[in-house]
C-alpha cells in the first residue's frame, strides 16, 4: 500500500458540489479581489473564533509580519518565540528587524511557559506563541507573564484552527491571532491565504490599511503598506470549508485516537496532551530515538512521513547572523532529531491507517 503524508483531493471531493458552486459564484460575479466574499468570510471567521474583527490577508506569514509591524515593533526590540517553531514565526519578527529570543519547548512541543521570564529583558516587546501541531499552548500562564511584564501576545495559529485552551479559542488570548489557510492546514484554502483576528479596533484598522497599500480609500495612502489582499475565490472556498471545520477536526481527532490506541511499538513515544489544552491534530507527531531508521523503514513499506522540523530556526543557514550555535537549545535540537509526523488527513481510510499502525508496530528499528 502507498500512503502519502497529505492527500488534498479527498477533502475537495467530500464537499465537491459546494466548492464548485462557490467557485462559479465568484467567476460569474466579475469581482475577484477584496469583495463581498472576503467580507463575509471575515465576519464568519471572526464569529467562529469569538473575536470582534478579522482581516483577511495573503498568507500566514503576512499575518505575522504585519502584526509585529502594526504594534510598532522593530529595530532594537526583542520578541520571545519558541525555538522549535516553523521558520515563518521567526520571519514575522526578523522581517521587521526585531530580534527573536528563543525559548525551549516543553514535553507537549509548545513554548515552555516556565522558561519565558528568564528570557525577558528591557528590550522585550512581545511574546510570539505557536500552538504547534494543533495543540493549544499553556495560555493561562503565558497571559499572566505577559500582563506582569506589559508585553503583547501574538499567537501563531497557523496549525490550531479551532483548538481551545481552558475552553477559550486559540487566537483570542493576545492582541493578534495569526492564521494561515495554506492548503494543508486544517482550515486550508485552494491556494495561499491568511488572516488576523483581534478585538482591538485600532489594530484591526491598521492591518486593514496595511494589506492594501496603506489605504482605506483608494489612492489615499495613509501609511506605508503592502499588497496582502485576500482574493474572492479563496474567501468563497474558505467559507465552505469553515462551515465544515468542526467535522473535519473531529475526524482528525478520531484518527489520532486510533493511532494512540493502535501504536504499541515500545520505541515510539506518542504525543501527549496537556490538561485544559485541546488538540486538533494538524499533525500527529511521535518521537523515536531511532527516528531516521523508523522513517526509512516506513518509507520502504510505502508510507510517507515528514519531519516538522529537521533544522530549528536558530541553526538555519538564513539565521547564521544571529550567532547561535549547536547546543544552544538542546531540547529543541533533540526534538529536531527525534520527531516524526505520521500521515493524517481528511478522508484517510481506516484501512490506510491500520496499515500504517501495523507497519510501525512490526518494523525493525536499528
Q: Which residues bind ligand PLP (CB under 6 A)?
A: 59-61, 85-86, 88-89, 130, 156, 158-159, 180, 182, 192, 194
Residue closer to ligand PLP by CB (options 89, 198) is 89
Residue closer to ligand PLP by CB (options 180, 353) is 180
Residue closer to ligand PLP by CB (options 73, 91) is 91
Q: Are 106 and 133 in contact (CB under 8 A)?
A: no
CB of 130 to ligand PLP, least distance (A): 5
Residue closer to ligand PLP by CB (options 153, 263) is 153
Beta strands in 152-234 (DSSP E): 152-156, 164-165, 168-169, 176-180, 194-198, 215-217, 220-221
Chain residue whose CB lies nearest ligand PLP = 60
Q: What are phi and psi of 266, to 5 degrees?
A: -65, -15
Residue closer to ligand PLP by CB (options 59, 198) is 59
Spatial separation of the C-alpha atoms in residues 277 and 108, rounded to whole Å: 10
- Measured between alpha carbons, how far apart are the two ends of the chain, in Å? 23
CB of 228 to ligand PLP, least distance (A): 10
Spatial separation of the C-alpha atoms in residues 79 and 58, rounded to whole Å: 23
CB of 332 to ligand PLP, least distance (A): 14
Pick from 115, 346, 356, 98: which is nearest to 241 by CA?
Answer: 346
For the stretch 169-183, what's the b/e string if a residue is b when 16 or more beta carbons lie within 10 angstroms of its beta carbon?
A: bbbbbbbbbbbbbbe
Residue closer to ligand PLP by CB (options 65, 268) is 65
CB of 217 to ligand PLP, least distance (A): 28
Residue closer to ligand PLP by CB (options 191, 262) is 191
Q: Are 82 and 133 in contact (CB under 8 A)?
A: no
Spatial separation of the C-alpha atoms in residues 189 and 132, rounded to whole Å: 20
Tally of CA atoms within 13 A in the half-sphere of 297 that contains its CB: 18
CB of 181 to ligand PLP, least distance (A): 7
Residue closer to ligand PLP by CB (options 315, 360) is 315
CB of 63 to ligand PLP, least distance (A): 8
CA 52 → CA 111, 123, 133, 199, distances in Å? Answer: 27, 30, 26, 5
Q: What are phi and psi of 40, to 5 degrees?
A: -65, -45
Q: Which residues, including other chains, have CB under 8 Å from residue 211's CB and lie 6 or more apart?
A: 55, 56, 57, 58, 62, 66, 225, 226, 227, 228, 229, 230
CB of 182 to ligand PLP, least distance (A): 4
Residue closer to ligand PLP by CB (options 38, 363) is 38
Residue 341, all three cell numbers:
509526523
Amino acid at each position: 500500500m502507498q500512503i502519502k503524508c497529505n492527500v488534498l483531493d479527498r477533502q475537495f471531493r467530500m464537499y465537491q458540489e459546494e466548492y464548485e458552486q462557490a467557485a462559479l459564484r465568484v467567476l460569474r460575479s466579475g469581482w475577484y479581489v477584496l469583495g463581498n466574499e472576503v467580507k463575509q468570510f471575515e465576519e464568519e471567521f471572526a464569529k467562529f473564533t469569538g473575536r470582534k474583527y478579522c482581516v483577511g490577508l495573503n498568507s500566514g506569514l503576512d499575518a505575522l509580519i504585519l502584526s509585529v509591524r502594526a504594534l510598532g515593533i522593530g529595530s532594537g526590540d526583542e520578541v520571545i518565540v519558541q525555538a522549535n517553531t516553523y521558520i515563518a514565526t521567526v520571519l514575522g519578527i526578523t522581517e521587521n528587524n526585531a530580534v527573536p529570543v528563543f525559548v525551549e519547548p516543553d514535553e507537549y512541543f509548545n513554548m515552555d511557559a516556565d522558561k519565558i521570564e528568564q528570557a525577558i529583558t528591557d528590550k522585550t516587546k512581545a511574546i510570539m506563541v505557536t500552538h504547534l501541531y494543533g495543540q493549544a499552548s499553556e495560555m493561562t500562564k503565558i497571559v499572566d507573564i505577559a500582563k506582569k511584564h506589559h508585553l503583547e501576545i501574538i499567537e501563531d495559529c497557523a496549525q490550531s484552527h479551532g483548538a481551545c485552551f481552558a475552553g477559550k479559542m486559540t487566537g483570542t488570548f493576545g492582541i493578534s491571532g495569526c492564521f494561515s489557510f495554506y492548503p494543508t492546514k486544517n482550515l486550508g484554502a485552494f491556494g495561499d491565504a491568511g488572516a488576523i483576528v483581534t478585538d482591538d479596533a485600532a489594530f484591526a484598522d491598521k492591518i486593514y490599511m496595511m494589506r492594501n497599500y496603506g489605504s482605506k480609500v483608494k489612492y489615499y495612502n495613509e501609511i506605508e503598506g503592502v499588497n496582502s489582499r485576500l482574493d474572492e475565490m479563496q474567501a468563497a472556498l474558505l467559507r465552505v470549508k469553515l462551515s465544515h471545520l468542526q467535522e473535519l477536526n473531529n475526524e482528525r481527532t478520531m484518527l489520532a485516537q486510533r493511532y494512540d490506541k493502535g501504536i504499541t511499538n515500545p520505541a515510539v513515544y506518542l504525543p501527549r496532551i496537556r490538561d485544559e489544552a485541546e488538540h486538533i491534530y494538524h499533525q500527529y507527531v511521535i518521537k523515536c530515538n531511532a527516528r531516521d531508521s523508523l522513517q526509512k523503514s516506513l518509507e520502504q513499506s510505502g508510507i510517507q512521513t515528514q519531519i516538522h522540523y529537521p533544522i530549528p530556526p536558530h541553526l538555519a543557514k538564513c539565521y547564521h547572523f544571529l550567532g547561535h550555535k549547536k547546543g544552544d537549545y538542546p531540547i529543541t535540537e533533540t526534538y529536531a532529531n527525534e520527531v516524526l509526523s505520521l500521515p493524517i488527513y481528511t478522508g484517510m481510510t481506516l484501512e490506510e491507517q491500520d496499515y500504517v499502525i501495523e507497519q510501525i508496530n512490526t518494523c525493525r528499528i536499528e
